[in-house]
Amino acid sequence: MARLQHPQELSTLQSIFEGIDDAIFCHDLDMRITHWNPAAEQLFGYSHEEIIDESVYLLIPEDRQQEKMDIMRDIMEGRRIGHFKTIRRTREGVEIPVSITISPIRDQEGQVTGSSQIARSIIEENAAEEKQARLAAIVASSDDAIVGKSLQGIITSWNIGAEKMFGYTEQEAIGQHISLLIPPERLNEEDIIIGNIRAGKKVDHFQTIRRTKGGQQLHISLSVSPILNKAGEIIGASKIARNITAQKEAERSVAKSMERMEILNSISKSINEDLDLQHILQRVTDATTRLTGADFGAFFYNRIDQGGESYWLYTISGAPRAAFENFPMPRNTAVFHPTFSGEDVVRVDDITKDPRYGKNSPYFGMPKGHLPVVSYLAVPVITHSGVVIGGLFFGHKQAGVFKEEHEDLVVTVASQAAVAIDNSRLFEEVKDLSNKKDEFIALASHELKTPLTSMSGFLQILERMVPDGSAKSFAEKALKQLAKLNELVNDLFDISKIQAGKLQLNFEPFDLSDLLDEITDTFEQTHPHYNLKMAADGELLVSGDKMRLEQVLTNLLGNAVKYAPDAREVSMIAIRTGNEIRISVKDQGPGILPENQQHIFSQFYRVKEQERKTSGLGLGLYISKDIIDRHGGRIWVESTPGHGATFTFSLPAFTN
């Protein structure tokens, strides 16, 4: 070994020895430490004074001392040991991982006299390796796909999760462009993602669609983060992809169920509120066609002709009605019989392969040009009384479209539709009877007017001809009864006009005060034993039919007397409030119960407690309401049982 010729060289080496950051120490063949630099003092905790001439085994845990002996054998043979990782012990007894490089020390003759060691703590390095190992284990075991790629989109890493999700092995994927996984219509997404990564922005939970090796499309949630080198430069991207296909399918299933519930609720509400048969059946057909996903749906009415086979197409959905107009109606074939007889629901994945199909001439299947039907579903619509109204039929050109859930939905709607159809048919019957009743009333009232007029004339002549006495009294009574009968006939005649929309009103401006005075005079003459208290306040100009409004007031005053025969006072008040004129008639009768008040203006309605005590058909208030309504006003009653009743109507005030 060459000697140091100059003190300057020795000084330089001493400076390096003391200034280097790695721990450097030497020991002789007796394992006594001979040199110890400041970095060694800092790493192991022993000062120079404490450690010099001490055994190197102070630094070596007991379970590593054999390791030291093995190393010394190599050193004695002149071999250098570089970057050997092991464990050493500090002054406080703490064991630390270190990387050591051990070299032999030789004398002038070249004989090994000891060893020099350079030691570096690898605590942080080990922690980083452990962290890297943990991360690698997480990446390897993750069910999510974790993929690394360059800024050019080239795949650089590929975990097992990615292999399971997308079907490509690591060897197949690495080196390929990431577009391998992207459907063509979504390639622009990659440009957007890479643009964010280049700008240092993370992409979080981006939901999109990616493609597997087998061509299947998966719904995934992507999180993409920039990859930085030691200089902090962005060199690529780490992508975590989670398969959310099941979640999306569940969301679609829930949304579909909610949509179906909304449709069912909407159907139930709309068909139960509607009494028009055509509207009901069209809504049912449209809704069930939508619920089943059918290409088309139809409702055939069960109408049997003399030959026993006639089914009328009532509604169609999903196809123009013209598509059926050139074809004969369905016949009682083996396919249709279970539906039109109400026996059962028929649901077939491929009707053309069903043993019941194509057995009847002349078509032996569907007529030429008929809408294509492979999937077939037919549900009978049956009333609660067991009558088969008809059937709902659905078709689709593909096989296996209709499932059990579709069948259940249509059966539910069909049962609701049956109730609505029953109600509609009952309503039509009632309306027909009502029309016939109105026709009869109109005819009867019209025919009665002529003989009543003649009878009235004859009785008036008879009254004048007979002398005073019992005969004259009978004639007067007959005339009074005839007047009552004439009022009833007039009411019936008015009702027939109202029903036919022919009750004419002649509007003209006039002062209600004049009419009220006339009515008061007439009332006092015809009812001398009653005290009519009349009060009017303000200008009472209206535009209306004076004769018809007089009819309303006369009816209200007549009722006040009729329903309070023991009373002797009636009140009538007219007042203007803003642009409205109100007229009230109050009696001192027994009053009207709340449950009767809501029906009091109905046609032919009479209060049960009073109907046996008073005459009349219960038409006066109905006619009065129609007259007031047509004047743009309103009429109502206020009553407390035992305290009489007040009938009030309002009219718009006339303004020039």
Q: Which two tokens stand for residue 63?
A: 């379970």
Q: Name residue 580's beta-bridge partners.
A: 577, 652
What are the angstrom distances between the C-alpha of 106 and each of 53, 57, 76, 103?
19, 21, 10, 10
Residue 437: pLDDT band by 50, 70, 90 thresholds? low
Q: Which two tokens stand for residue 14?
A: 């001493």
Residue 343 has pLDDT above 70, yes or no: yes
DSSP state for residue 372 in the 8-state scheme: P
Residue 350 has pLDDT above 60, yes or no: yes
- Among 177-181, 324-328, 490-494, 527-531, which stretch is predicted with the lowest mean pLDDT? 324-328
CA angle 650, 553, 502 (to 5 degrees): 85
Which of 101, 126, 106, 104 has its CA nearest to residue 115? 104
Helix (H, G, I), strand (E, B) or coil at 528: coil
Alpha helices for 199-321 (secondary structure H) = 245-273, 277-292
For the chain, the average pLDDT equals 80
What would the pLDDT profile of 31-67 be if each residue is shown by its tens digit?
Answer: 999 999 999 999 999 999 999 999 999 999 999 989 8
Question: Distance (Å, rounded) from C-alpha 377 to C-alpha 339?
Answer: 10
What would the pLDDT profile of 509-532 be if each residue is shown by its tens digit?
Answer: 999 999 999 999 988 888 888 899
Whether 274-429 and 142-249 are alike in CATH topology: the answer is yes
Question: Could you tell me whether strands 569-577 and 531-537 are parallel, antiparallel, or unpaired per DSSP bridges?
Answer: parallel
Residue 320: per-residue pLDDT: 74
Stronger pLDDT, 496 or 635, i.e. the higher one:
635
Question: Distance (Å, rounded) from C-alpha 295 to C-alpha 395?
Answer: 6
Which single residue is written with the structure tokens 């981006």?
A: 206
- Among 111-125, 159-173, 411-425, which stretch is predicted with the lowest mean pLDDT? 411-425
8-127 carries CATH number 3.40.47.10: no
Residue 617 has pLDDT above 80, yes or no: no
Average pLDDT over every residue of 224-250? 87
Question: Distance (Å, rounded) from C-alpha 539 to C-alpha 17?
Answer: 122
Asked if 95 and 121 touch (Cβ cutoff 8 Å), the reply is no
Which of 412, 346, 414 has its CA nearest to residue 383? 414
What would the pLDDT profile of 448-495 be if each residue is shown by its tens digit?
Answer: 555 666 666 666 776 677 777 666 677 666 766 666 666 666 665 565
CATH of domain 504-652: 3.30.565.10
Average pLDDT over every residue of 327-347? 73
Domain extents in the chain: 8-127, 142-249, 274-429, 504-652
Residue 5 has pLDDT above 60, yes or no: no
Confidence (pTM): 0.39
Question: Distance (Å, rounded) from C-alpha 314 to C-alpha 301?
Answer: 6
142-249 carries CATH number 3.30.450.20: yes
Asked if 515 and 553 touch (Cβ cutoff 8 Å), the reply is yes
- Among 65-79, 490-504, 541-555, which stretch is predicted with the lowest mean pLDDT? 490-504
CATH of domain 274-429: 3.30.450.40
